[in-house]
Structure formats: structure tokens, C-alpha cells
Amino acid sequence: MARYALAAMGHKPIRFLDPALGTGAFYSALLQVLAGQSLHAAVGVELDPIFATSAADLWSASGLQVLEGDFTRQPVPRERFSLVLTNPPYVRHHHLTSENKLWLKSSVAESRGINLSGLAGLYCHFLLLAHDWMEDQGLAIWLIPSEFMDVNYGSAIRRYLTESVTLLHIHRFLPEDVQFTDALVSSAIVVFRKSLPPSGHHTRFSLGGSLEAPTHEALIPLKALGQSRKWTRFPHLMSASQPNEPTLGDLFAIKRGLATGANNFFILTDEEADHWEIPNSFLKPILPSPRYLRADIIPASENGEPTVYPRLYLLDCAEPEEIIESRWPRFYEYLQKGRAENIHASYLTSRRAPWYSQEKRPPAPFLCTYMGRSLNGRGPFRFVWNRSQATAHNVYLMLYPKGPLLSALETHPELEADVFEALQHIRPEQLISEGRVYGGGLHKVEPRELASIPARQIFANMGDYLAAEPQGNLFSSWE
């Protein structure tokens, strides 16, 4: 990063700022690449007094001024800086006090006129507040989590980078290449100048390898960035999806699988259910976790139960405890065991009446795994054709056909096979580009993100069936 900064600065005088100094790693790196050239000024801000003292002991003699304190509460100096080179603290929003959140939010609003979400991490506030510390045409290079590229609360940062400054380069490390041992987070290097972007500007996006020698790269039009909700799709996908293209959300109601609040208690094997003499009327078949599924098609027995192992059942009962105590004493004993383990008082269960009842999640014919890693050439997500009457818990997303697809399936159930084939042909990179990724290569896709996936192939497979349906003209604009 320091070499990159020096090359980008050219012969411009360097006034260096690190708002999250630590012991001065970036300052040290800059001194090494300068190879004897002088700095016009150098300032580092550090909250931790031990680190601040260490940095001062190490670098004061070479010209670094160390300011001990909270960068977000420092007054903006009269002399601005031509180079910001830093790795701000990765403190998630729920580790910030309410008072600090309010201060940060109001400071960003006053400085940049930006209403930053309360879900934003501390690094987002650092990045926006540092704007006023920079001189015009100053260069900033930030090593930050890449999550801002995808999440909703990152939209303010994305707008800042496309509208308020000239975004030069974003390099994203491969998700499995974790840069920090103390945080499971994927990282990005963000480079920009403090100047409004010129007309027709393109930003360099790179992925994998190093900042100076990436594995993949492409120039992305700034207009495409402004229209895209997900930046991790770049550099592989060169433009955002067409606005009128059909999506999975047009054909399915997509919901998370049910959240029990305590899977170990509410999801039982048939042996456990027999042991506690729980009536069959209070047990619903439920699918095991994806790692237990040997195939992507789940067949059913004559009674509709899935023929998979292990055979699991969801406890779901609406009867009052006094009725259970009198009629099914062993079942009541099991509930008392749950009370002794404080399961009834957890966040989810305490909001249900009775606490051992479940939210309604009927079986869905199609499922998608919620989280996963790419292994052995296979993408991180799996689509499953559920031909049974089993429901699913929240390691799956449940796809319920709706509208014209539902009508077509009701009259032509054989269409299910075509729909499943089309789902399986969705490219992994499409799912990855709409979802989000964490350090270690763990990918996740939420219902709204899955709903954004293009569904043209499903529509094509449905064509012959929909032609005979009254709703067929719903899709005419997509032909």
C-alpha cells in the first residue's frame, strides 16, 4: 500500500495522516519506500495510550507527531493532508455505546451531510470524517472490511465513493485469504482522491493476489457502480442486471426457514420422540442440515415423510401445559426439562404462546442453502427439490411458487422438474454476486438477495405452460 501510494503521489509533497496509528505500521512502511526522501509532515492519531506512547517512542525522532485521543472527536486541523494511509479499527456497531453512536452519527451528518445507518461499523465513520482532514486532490488509501460493498448500510459509503470523491481503485482480497487473525472478515483496499469524479470516469476493480499484482481486474464505469446494489460482483460481472429482467422474486415468495430458538430441544430424532412419548400430532417432519443430504432431490415415502437420514421431527404444540401434564406426563416432563435449561426464556421462545409452539413454515417444493463455502469445484449454495412434506429450519431459504408459476404448477405438476433444472443451472457467480461474503470464504445469501437473481431460464421453461394460462401475458414484456 505504501509503494502504491508513493507511485500515485508522484512528485507531490507528502503530508501523511494515519487516523488509526497503532504503533505506526503504515508510517514505518512509508519511510521504507521513501528511501531517504523527506516528508513535509506526518501525523498519527491513536486512542490507546500504550500504543500511542510506543509509537511516539519509535517515530518521534523521524518527524511523526502522535496525537493521543479519539480521532472521531479531534478538531479538524488548519493544515490538511495530502496522503491518508490507514487501517481503521474494525468495531461493529453493537460494540459501540449508544452515546458514542449518537455522537458519531451527528458528527458525520454535520461534516458530510450523510445520514449513516446505525448498523455501520466504526470504520465507516472514520472514512467519512477523514474527508475534512484531506486537502483537495489528496490521496486516500484505506484497508477496510469489504462488507460495505454489499450490505444495505454500506449504501452511504458507496454513494460517497461515487459522488463525493474520485474512486480510483478497489482491490478485494479473496474471501478465503483472511488478512487479520483476530477477525473473520474479508478485506478490501479502497483508493480515492478528494475531488469530484470527472465525466465518463472508470474505476479499477481487482480481485485476488496483491494490490500491485491482482489475479483479476477490470475497469468499471462509474455509472454502473451507481446503479449496482452489490459491488462484489465486480470485476467478474461488468454491469448490473437489466432492470426489466425477470427475477426469482417474481416467481417465488422467498422466506427463511423457521427459527426454533433452540434446535437441540425442538428438533428430535424419532428415537427421542418415542422416548419422551410425544404424540405424533405434535411432530412435523423437518429436513436435516444440508451436510446430511447426499442428493439434491428429496424423495418422499407414502405418508409424505422425507426418505433421508437422519429422520428428524419438529416439536410444535399449541396445547396448554396443564393439559399436557394430565394427558401426556412424559411429554410434560420433557417440557419441564426445557424449562430447567431456561429454553422457555430465550428471545424467540419468550415471544411465542405457548413457548413450545412454532412459527408457520409449510413445506416448500424448492429450497436454497443459506450459507456455504465453495468446495471441490462446487459453488457455496445448493438448490434442493423437496418432494416431501417436510418443513425446514433456518439453514435453508424456502421458495414458495406464486402468481403465474403457482397456477402453472397446480395444473401441470410435471413442471416442477423443469423449474428445478433451471434453478440448478443458475451460475454460482450469480448467487455469489448477489449475496455477501465473510473471511475464510463463507458466503451467505438473504431472501431479498436471492429474489434478485435473474430467472429468465425458468420463464423459458415455463413458456409452453404459461401460454395456456390467463396470466401468461404477465411475462410478455420479458420476451
What average pLDDT score do residues 171-185 get? 62
Overall pTM > 0.75: no
Instruction: Give the pLDDT score at 330.
Output: 97
Higher local confidence (pLDDT), 37 or 205: 205
Highest mean pLDDT among 237-241, 330-334, 368-372, 453-457: 330-334
**Whole-number Å distance between alpha carbons of 191 and 139:** 7
Query: How confident is the model at residue 462, as a pLDDT?
Result: 63
Return the closest-CA partner of residue 122 out of 101, 147, 139.
Answer: 101
Distance CA 327, CA 186 (A): 54
Q: What pLDDT, on the 0 to 100 scale, is given for residue 185?
A: 62
3.40.50.150, 3.90.950.20, 3.40.47.10, 3.30.2320.80: which CATH number matches 2-227?
3.40.50.150
Can you tell me the distance from the alpha carbon of 234 to that of 216, in angstroms, rounded to the nearest whole number? Answer: 10
Please name the amino acid found at residue 411. T
Q: Report the pLDDT averaged over residues 430-435.
A: 76
Q: Does 181 have pLDDT greater than 80?
A: no
> Which amino acid does the sequence have at 354?
P
In this structure, are residues 182 and 152 in contact, taking their beta carbons and an 8 Å threshold?
no
Q: Which residue has better confidence, 264 or 407?
A: 264
CATH 3.40.50.150 residue ranges for the chain: 2-227
Name the amino acid, one letter, at 177.
D
User: Residues with Cβ < 8 Å from 230, sequence gap 6 or more?
Assistant: 149, 150, 433, 434, 449
User: Distance (Å, rounded) from C-alpha 137 to C-alpha 140?
Assistant: 10
C-alpha cell at 197: 469524479
CB of 39 within 8 A of CB of 12?
no
Spatial contact of 371 and 184, defined as CB atoms under 8 Å apart: no
Residue-level pLDDT at 239: 40
Angle between helix 122-129 and 98-112 (nearest 10): 30
Out of 3.40.50, 3.30.70, 1.20.120, 3.90.220, the CATH code matching 241-259+359-471 is 3.90.220
pLDDT digits (tens, 9 = 90+) for 387-402: 999 999 999 999 999 9
Average pLDDT over residues 2-20: 94
Q: What does the alpha-carbon distance between residue 439 and residue 184 come to, in Å, rounded to a whole number?
A: 5
pLDDT digit string, tens, across residues 59-102: 999 999 999 999 999 999 999 999 999 999 988 877 788 899 99
Per-residue model confidence (pLDDT) at position 474? 41
Residue 230 pLDDT: 85
pLDDT grade, residue 176 (50/70/90)?
A: low
Q: How far apart are the first and last CA of the chain?
A: 48
At 216 the pLDDT is: 87
Strands (E) in 146-201, as ranges, are 166-172, 187-193
- Specify the pLDDT at position 478: 37
Question: Cα torsion for 419, 425, 431, 433, to the nearest 10°?
Answer: -130
**Distance between alpha carbon 130 and the CA centroid of its chain, in Å?**
25
pLDDT at residue number 151? 87
In the chain, which segments carry CATH 3.90.220? 241-259+359-471
Provide φ and ψ at 385, rounded to 5°. -95, 110
More confident of the two residues 71 and 443: 71
**Across 102-116, 128-142, 258-272, 428-442, least confident range:** 428-442
User: In the beta sheet, which residues pair with residue 283?
Assistant: 315
- Residue range 243-253, pLDDT digits in tens: 567 889 999 99
Lowest model confidence (mean pLDDT) among 79-93, 318-332, 409-423, 459-473: 459-473
Contact call for residues 328 and 279 (beta carbons, < 8 A): yes
Q: What is the pLDDT of residue 465?
A: 58
